[in-house]
Structure 1
Amino acid sequence: MDRLSDLLSGEFTKKSLRGIYISTIIVVALLAVIILLTGLKSMSVQASATNVGLIINGDMTENGWNWQSIQGLLLAESEFGVIGTVYTSTDPSEIEPDVQQCALDGNDLCIGVSFMTTEAISNSAPVFTNTKFTNIDGWYENYPPNLRAVGFSSQDVGYLAGTLAALMSQSDTIGAVCGMEIPPVIAFTEGYSNGAHCANPAVTTIISYTDTFVDPELGAQLARDMIAQGTDVVFGVGGLTGDGAILTATQSGVWAIGVDTDQYFTLFMSGTVPGSNYLLTSAMKRLDNVVFLTISDVVSGMFTPGIVWYGLEEDAMGLAPFHETDASIPLDVRTKLERVRRAIIGGIVDPSDEPCLVIYQQYLPLTNR
């Protein structure tokens, strides 16, 4: 009654106010803990119920494209508790049955690793509407609600490769031996050319498209032709065709840059193949991180249809370590590469354009801070 009288008469003491204030904080804190635990439990239940299928066609070379994608799945299993299944084949005719089986097995998400799965996923997505599908490195004109494509901002890492090539060239002539003239390859090579020209306006870039990814001898011949014209850095952007160019360049004592994976491992077999001491780096696509990010979106309920682009900022692309050529890369070259990388991530440099001097005036002061 005394407390009630105090309240009614307006004579509530500071001590009483302090007691109510502390009690309120405790209640709010307890509610926050309950909400957090409920959310974590909900996410855990959702993750444990998520089944993911990975459709792979081709070999399983360690550190290669397919091997990387499996590392992403394994990480998601560890982080989210998802249940993963890998569907492998070596015959392209087996891809579509594998995609269908992935859906029939009740997987919540089926991921096709490479453009080779593009058609099979396009055919299956409208049929298995309760399954989410993702195609890595492919694209579509139309996207039903359960279909996503993952694209790489290849121009970003191509720009870095071109910057390195121009800074390492002694002849001011660099080259690129490419496969088919399709968007992902074009993005690599245009970024390469722009990055080189912005690093050294005097550089000449020779670009050769071959319309094939499976002709290493053609790639080798084009590399020899470029070397005869004074090229002293060769970028191979064309599957086996590009591999032929890289091997010929490096074994001729000319710098080379690989693509897609860290080719010190996948082409030079950790330095056991001659020429590894002339491989500067590789313009990598990080399949492990892209697979993990895609699964994360499904687990968190953030999956959306359409195309999603990943690049340097998401660590989905980047230059591989220098390996045996590490001692040959001057400190000032490393510094400039890091400045360019940060400028691309910050949106100051657009690798698709060729702004050169304007870019340098903007991003060099910024990245020196």
Structure 2
Amino acid sequence: MRFKRGVAVTAIALTSVLSVVGCAKDSASSDNPSGGQNNNASGCQTVDKPAAASGATSSESAASDVDASQLKVGLAFDIGGRGDASFNDSAAAGLDQAIADLGVKKENTKELTATDQESEDSKQTRLRQLAQEGHNPVISVGFAYSEATKVIAGQFPNTQFAVVDGFVEGAPKNVTFLGFAEHEGSFLVGVIAALKSESCKIGFVGGVNVPLIQKFQAGFEQGVKAVAPDAEVIARYITEAGDLTGFTDAPKGQVTAKGLIDEGADVVYHAAGASGKGVFAAAKEGGVMAIGVDSDQYNQATVAEYKDVIITSMLKRVDVAVFDYIAAVAAGDMGGLPQVFDLKVNGVGYSTSGGKIDDETKEWVESYKQQIIDGEITVADTPAAS
């Protein structure tokens, strides 16, 4: 079935050769006297390109004959909703794919969107409305729905509920939590940032300072440091925990990113939802590079004016999780869903749209990717103490 992930794949065989662009651009040879590190003109040290561990990565899921035409799917978006060019749009893409490939009827779907700073009662009311109208499954997009889903799922035991990014103890059995290894995907774009940076100062903009977004920061910092141990990663958050406007305030995102650029960052990675548009604006204004998140943001129409500065995006395949969950509900078999959508099941990754990731850079990234899949590298999910 479609939601059971395939394993037929590509084994990667790479050799350790010269360091490349950015922080590594002046690395001359692999037999340098600095103990396996190379120095570029800016004084930033970079390790030699690692050889890939042997093994295979998972392919995309196989095609399916699952029939979901009888389902009425309800989707409760996080703030920003469809059109945020990031997290919510990725979830929307999963529903759109289910309509195209699984036979879900568009007229039998309903989408509702959260508002800024709303109460738990508001979240519960939204989920209750979808369940009362007969939508089954009801999919909540965002950790902020965790508690509300627990409450409403208890009131509608015959309805299947899912929460993207959520988790709460004691949830009813009709709740499925769809989690991701954001730190693993962020490690990969950290490798790219280190290879592309000229200043060896690299920025991270988080939307809201909560454990989920700290996972992005942790993996990104580790990826940068794996390639360039002496590089400096400067992290800033738009808002603190409790203020979710950090995911929807593009002007604040621009101000936050500009601050990093003013400190010398020439690559900036954001995990800030719709606020990322402001990060891209600051990058374009400052003449630096940016890294998107969740969706392949180079191809998102709502940020098209900034595509020239977007070198890659960390892909968090919320679309895959939503699609696979809908397929699982339609098939009556939840056992095919992975416990976490990680690199092994292509639940996270990186984009190459726009042609800014050359073959040499990709070899570096794929080397590290395989080592993470093989368990040779463990990626931290909390930032190192500063």
Instruction: Give your verdict on TM over 0.5.
Output: yes
TM-score by length of 2: 0.69
Aligned to 2:182, which of 145, 148, 154?
154
Cα distance in 2 for partners of 1:62, 1:220 equals 16
For 1:348, the equivalent position in structure 2 comes to 376
| Structure 2 residue 167 is matched with structure 1 residue 139 | yes
The whole-number CA distance in structure 2 between the counterparts of 1:201 and 1:130 is: 52
2:211 maps to 183
Confirm or deny: 8 A CA contact 1:72 1:288 kept in the other structure: yes
Counterpart position of 1:310: 341
Contact 1:262 1:281 in 2 (8 A): yes
**Greater mean deviation of Cα atoms: 225-234 or 187-196:** 225-234
Distance 1:207 1:65 in 2: 20
Structure 1 131/189 Cα, relative in aligned 2: closer, same or farther at 3 Å? Answer: same
Structure 1 residues 112 and 91, CA gap change in structure 2 (3 angstroms): closer
Contact 1:56 1:86 in 2 (8 A): no
Q: Does 1:281 align with 2:312?
A: yes
Is the alpha carbon distance of 1:47 and 1:64 closer, same or farther for their aligned partners in structure 2, counting shifts above 3 Å? Answer: same
Paired with 2:317 and 2:251, the residues of 1 have a C-alpha distance of: 28
Distance 1:168 1:240, change over 3 A: same
Pick from 80, 88, 113 the counterpart of residue 111 of structure 2: 88
Q: Deviations over 1:2-43 (max 9, x none)?
A: xxxxxxxxxxxxxxxxxxxxxxxxxxxxxxxxxxxxxxxxx9
Q: C-alpha separation between the residues in 1 aligned to 2:264 and 2:68?
A: 56
Three-state SS of the structure 2 residue aligned to 1:230 is: coil
| TM-superposed deviation, 1:110 | 1.4
Please give the residue correspondences for 1:263-302 in structure 2 after superposition, counting only pairs within 5 Å: 263-266=297-300, 269-270=303-304, 273=305, 275-302=306-333
Superposition deviation, residue 86 in structure 1: 2.6
Change (3 A) 1:56 1:268: closer
Q: Is contact 1:139–1:307 with CA below 8 Å preserved after alignment?
A: no
Whether the aligned pair in 1 keeps the contact of 2:82 and 2:92 (CA below 8 Å) is no
Equivalent residue, structure 1, for 2:359: 331
Identity, in percent, stands at 30
Q: Determine the C-alpha separation between the residues in 2 that align with 1:161 and 1:101.
A: 39
Q: C-alpha deviations, 1:125-176, integer Å up to 9, x for none? A: 0100111110112221222111111111100111011110001111111111
Task: Note closer, same or farther for the CA distance 1:216–1:307 as it changes in structure 2 (3 Å cut).
Answer: same
Q: Which one of 57, 73, 80 corresponds to residue 52 of structure 1?
A: 73
Write the deviation string for residues 201-235 of structure 1: whole angstroms up to 9, x where unpaired. 12111111232334434433333332233211111
* Larger helix proportion of the pair: 1
Residue 94 (structure 2) aligned to one of 67, 72, 81: 72
Bigger relative CO (Cα 8 Å, ≥ 6 apart): 2
Give, in angstroms, the shift of residue 283 of structure 1.
1.2
2:280 aligned with 1:246: yes
Say whether 1:192 aligns with 2:220.
yes
Structure 2: 5+ residue stretches without partners: 1-64, 241-245
| Preserved CA contact (<8 Å) 2:83 2:302 | no
Q: Which deviates more, 63-72 or 308-317?
A: 63-72
Tell me which of 193, 196, 214 is aligned to 1:165. Answer: 193
- Alignment partners' CA distance in 2, 1:61 and 1:224: 24
1:117 paired with 2:117, answer no
List alignment gaps of at least 5 residues for structure 1.
1-42, 355-369
Counterparts in 2 of 1:67 and 1:188: CA distance versus 1, 3 Å: closer
In 2: Cα distance, 1:133 partner to 1:196 partner: 37
Worse-superposed segment, 138-147 or 236-245: 236-245
Please state whether the residue corresponding to 2:332 is helix, strand or coil: coil
Contact 1:250 1:276 in 2 (8 A): no
Q: Identify the range of structure 1 (339-348 vs 289-298) with the bigger mean alpha-carbon deviation.
A: 339-348
- Cα distance in 2 for partners of 1:71, 1:216 equals 22
